[in-house]
Structure 1
Amino acid sequence: MTSHNRIRIPDGFWAGLYQLGITAQDVVRKAKMPLTVITESVVTTEQYIAIWQAYSDIIGDMEDAIIKLPTTFETAQYPPSVLAAYHARDYRDALKRMARYKEMCPPENIRIVEEGESCTIEVEWLDTGLPGPPLLVGTTLAFLLELGRRGTGLPIQASLVEFNHTMNQVQGLEDYFGCPIQFGAKCNRLTLHRGDLDRPFASYNAELLDILTPVLHQTLEEQRGSHSITEIVKWILKRSLTGERLEIQDVASELGMSERTLQRRLTDEQTTFKQLMREARHELAKEYLANPNLDIKEVAFLVGYKDQSSFYRAFRCWEGNTPLNWRTEYVSINSIN
């Protein structure tokens, strides 16, 4: 497993969908994922793809969906990484910042090449072994053009857009991008007129950039740093427990190592797989029980228990109380606070 298996859903993503009349709960349920994804916003590559596929299935019209999210998304809701691009000196600076900070939200990567009179921006899919969701790819390319239009205040047009997938409708996309759309290409790519990259941004804010840039740089460096194997294993367990009990070989396989190697590394960090499993279930159980909309049977399923009685016994061992009583006390305490 690489760092790309821990993906943070972009800030404002759920708000953007809500503006389109789509709730986060509907998307997560469609993707068959735990509701905690909405608040934690950290998922695996497979779950990230599932979220975009669920959004695609719900909205139905691929062409319309590609255009709507970037154009509907309000500038005020941009996360810090995108704000730094929006307030850049010019379009070139903005694109370079987007490519740099995209590392904080894989699994796709942005590669920029300037040559002759053209600038190509390619969306590369990072070491997942899975195809990039067409809607995500299209939305990314549309957003990069939208960024230039909003920053400069000008109706910048692309010279060519290429997708490696197919689509039934193209007229709306060609109208939006202002250029031909090519399907079945070798890569997903947006080609701009190089001269447009020199256009200054009306939204340029040097003072804000002086604040954002050091913070984003530090965040990027921290994210590039290694996480302990204990943190990673517990995170995998929390993201994958729903409805089933994971075994150590399942996690070892996802990490790309042998079961023996994983056991040794956990021992080095003075823990065991069983201990992390108990901790993950315990922590998740309390998170779910804090949500009054989930019944006890559903909570048991979400933390990997097939029957409610087994969950009750485990929870008594953890908290010395029943799940129902714990929830009642939790609600009572928080209502006072």
Structure 2
Amino acid sequence: MTSNTRIKMPAGFWSGIQQLGIAPHDVARKARLPVTIITDLVVTTDQYFAIWQAYSDLVDDIAEAIIKLTTVFETAQYPPAVLATYHARDYRDALKRMARYKQLCPPESIRITEEGEHCTIDLDWLYIEEPGPPMLVGITLAFLLELGRRGTGQHLTARLVKFSHQMGDIQALENYFGCHIQSGANCNRLTLDREDLDRPFVTYNAELLEILTPVMDQSLDEQSRSISFTEKVKWILKRSLAGGRPDLQTVAWELGMSDRTLQRRLTDEGISFKNLLTQVRHELAREYLADSSFDIKEVAFMIGYEDHNSFYRAFHKWEGDTPSNWRTEYLSTHN
């Protein structure tokens, strides 16, 4: 997915910020975009990120802005894909639908894991190289909890929330989420009590779901066919690399196909699994090294190298320089 990918802008965003006392044209001006962007139904990835960053720049505190916009956003303004989650049978059903239909509203993507007493929801980025603004990260995770609260009619709380960036007034966020907030983490993650997922939604509407689900599934299938197979595999590799070594079998299983089919599909697009994995590691290495908050040994681990010396050799082969020298030069030219 490129920076020119078309993204549907939530209809309630502009009315929501107006309720918070922020003029839409001020956001457009801050984002260096034409005022007509306010009435556009779709925007590019770059424009989408610029709008969220502009909103963040115009508020006094990012944490307060996250909470206010999440709670003021009216349910009636939800796009169809989100309405299908709001009217789900229970919180688990809603989250599963959200993970599936979020692909219709890139670039955010969520990955849900249930284990023991906990459910973890990780925020990833769909087919793009650079992560989105911290404001968008915060809004996304806060909305997932807000969805459970509105659907169940109960004031649910999280067990733990992790953000990769500093998020302003941490105490305000802890009051909202009802748990400890960890900033500067190596992921963006919402952890819930697994038993909360069984709570039924008072907003459950079987008749509406029967109408929306086939439409959403058809749109998802059409969108899936428009994205190259290589991009799909790259995305899976990127979200699976941290601390692990995703192999061909693992990726094939996630795509619901055999190892042989995966290899054939990649060959048809002119690349091997091994070379694609190397390409992904190289791209992620540059991305993580550009962030000075990550230790170089940590970067090696995050892209699947258990031995940091192996990472040094690989990086020197890619860039003709050591990771530390590359970082120093990069930061000197981009700060």
Q: TM-score, normalised by structure 1?
A: 0.64
Deviates more, 1:192-201 or 1:5-14: 5-14
Shift of 1:83: 1.1
Shift of 1:7: 1.6
1:155-185 deviation per Cα after TM superposition (whole angstroms, max 9, x unaligned): 1110000001113421111011010000111
Q: 1:12 aligns to what SS in structure 2?
A: helix
1:250 corresponds in structure 2 to: none
| 2:19 counterpart of 1:19 | yes
Asked whether the 8 Å contact 2:134–2:167 carries over to 1, the reply is no
For 1:29, give the aligned amino acid: R
1:252 corresponds in structure 2 to: none
Q: 2:128 aligns to what SS in structure 1?
A: coil
1:306 corresponds in structure 2 to: none
1:70-98 deviation per Cα after TM superposition (whole angstroms, max 9, x unaligned): 11111122111111111100000001111
| 2:55 counterpart of 1:63 | no
What are structure 2's unaligned runs of at least 5 residues? 228-335
For 1:165, give the aligned amino acid: H
Q: Are the structure 2 counterparts of residues 25 and 222 from structure 1 closer, same or farther at C-alpha, using a change threshold of 3 Å?
A: farther
Runs of 4+ in 1 over 4 A off after TM superposition: 1-4
Q: 1:122 aligns to what SS in structure 2?
A: strand
Output the CA distance in 2 between the equivalents of 1:71 and 1:137.
16
Asked whether the 8 Å contact 1:4–1:106 carries over to 2, the reply is no
Shift of 1:34: 2.2
2:152 corresponds in structure 1 to: 152
| 2:125 counterpart of 1:125 | yes
Shift of 1:63: 0.9
2:179 corresponds in structure 1 to: 179
Output the CA distance in 2 between the equivalents of 1:33 and 1:4.
15
Output the CA distance in 2 between the equivalents of 1:41 and 1:28.
14
Output the CA distance in 2 between the equivalents of 1:55 and 1:135.
8
Structure of higher CA gyration radius: 1
Asked whether the 8 Å contact 2:3–2:46 carries over to 1, the reply is no
Q: Are the structure 2 counterparts of residues 192 and 4 from structure 1 closer, same or farther at C-alpha, using a change threshold of 3 Å?
A: farther
Output the CA distance in 2 between the equivalents of 1:51 and 1:115.
36
Q: Are the structure 2 counterparts of residues 112 and 24 from structure 1 closer, same or farther at C-alpha, using a change threshold of 3 Å?
A: same
Output the CA distance in 2 between the equivalents of 1:178 and 1:154.
13
For 1:196, give the aligned amino acid: D
1:189 corresponds in structure 2 to: 189
Asked whether the 8 Å contact 1:8–1:41 carries over to 2, the reply is yes
Shift of 1:2: 4.5
Output the CA distance in 1 between the equivalents of 2:50 and 2:183.
23
1:85 corresponds in structure 2 to: 85
Output the CA distance in 2 between the equivalents of 1:96 and 1:200.
14
CA RMSD of aligned residues (A): 1.7
For 2:75, give the aligned amino acid: T
Q: What is the number of residues matched between the two proteins?
A: 227
Output the CA distance in 1 between the equivalents of 2:134 and 2:84.
26
Output the CA distance in 2 between the equivalents of 1:37 and 1:97.
29
Output the CA distance in 2 between the equivalents of 1:16 and 1:49.
17
Shift of 1:129: 2.5
Shift of 1:126: 2.9
Output the CA distance in 1 between the equivalents of 2:52 and 2:175.
24
What are structure 1's unaligned runs of at least 5 residues? 228-337
2:169 corresponds in structure 1 to: 169
